[in-house]
Amino acid sequence: MDLTGKVAVVTGSGRGLGLAYARALAAAGAHVVVNDVDQQAVGAAVESVAAAGGKAVGVTAAVGTTAAADELVSAAVEHFGRLDVLVTNAGILRDKVLWKMTDDDFDDVIRVHLRGTFSCARAAAVRMREQGEGGRIILIGSPAGQRGNFGQTNYAAAKAGIAAMARTWALELARAKITVNAVIPVAATEMTKTIPAFGPAIEEAERTGAPLPDWIRKQEGLGTVEDVTGLVTFLASDASAAVTGQAIGLGGDRLALWSHPQEKAVDFRDGGWSADEIAAAWSEGVGARPETFGIPAPQPPTGN
Ligand SMILES: NC(=O)c1ccc[n+]([C@@H]2O[C@H](COP(=O)([O-])OP(=O)(O)OC[C@H]3O[C@@H](n4cnc5c(N)ncnc54)[C@H](O)[C@@H]3O)[C@@H](O)[C@H]2O)c1
Sorted by where each begins, the domain ranges of the chain are 7-187+224-257
| C-beta 186 within 6 A of ligand 1 | yes
User: Closest Cα to atom 7, ligand 1: which residue?
Assistant: 142
Task: Please give the Cα distance from 304 to 84 (Å, whole number).
Answer: 49
Decide: 109 in ligand 1 pocket, CB within 6 A: no
Q: Is 115 in the pocket of ligand 1 (CB under 6 A)?
A: no
Count Cβ atoms within 10 A of the Cβ of residue 65 and give its class: 0-12 exposed, 13-18 middle, 19 or more buried.
middle
Phi-psi map region of 271: left, alpha, beta (phi>0 left; psi -120 to 50 alpha): left
CB 88 within 8 A of CB 121: yes
Atom of ligand 1 nearest to the CA of 64: 31
Ligand 1 nearest-atom number relative to CA 17:
16
Residue 138 CB–ligand 1 contact under 6 Å = no
| CB-neighbour burial class of residue 269 (10 A; exposed 0-12, middle 13-18, buried 19+) | exposed
Nearest CA to ligand 1 atom 32: 62
Question: Of 3.40.50.720, 3.30.413.10, 1.10.1060.10, 1.10.1740.10, which CATH number belongs to 7-187+224-257?
Answer: 3.40.50.720
For ligand 1, atom 11: residue with the closest CA: 89
Tell me how far the alpha carbon of residue 190 is from its chain's centroid.
17
CB-based contact 221:213 (threshold 8 Å): no
Report pTM: 0.97
Which atom from ligand 1 is nearest to the alpha carbon of 15?
A: 39
Q: What is the pLDDT along the chain (304 residues), one digit of tens a residue?
A: 999 999 999 999 999 999 999 999 999 999 999 999 999 999 999 999 999 998 999 999 999 999 999 999 999 999 999 999 999 999 999 999 999 999 999 999 999 999 999 999 999 999 999 999 999 999 999 999 999 999 999 999 999 999 999 999 999 999 999 999 999 999 988 767 777 788 888 888 889 988 899 999 999 999 999 999 999 999 999 999 999 999 999 999 999 999 999 999 999 999 999 999 999 999 999 999 999 999 999 888 886 4
CA of 269 to the centre of ligand 1 (A): 48
Write down the H helix ranges in 28-134. Answer: 39-52, 66-80, 103-109, 116-131
Q: Hey, which residues are catalytic here?
A: 155
Ligand 1 in reach of 20 Cβ (< 6 A): no
Ligand 1 pocket check for 92: Cβ under 6 Å: yes
Q: Is 125 in the pocket of ligand 1 (CB under 6 A)?
A: no
Indicate if the alpha-carbon torsion angle 170, 171, 177, 178 is positive or negative.
Answer: negative
Q: State how far the Cα of 81 lies from the Cα of 39, in Å rounded to an integer.
A: 24
Closest approach atom of ligand 1 to CA 14 = 39
Residue 89 Cα to ligand 1 midpoint, Å, equals 6
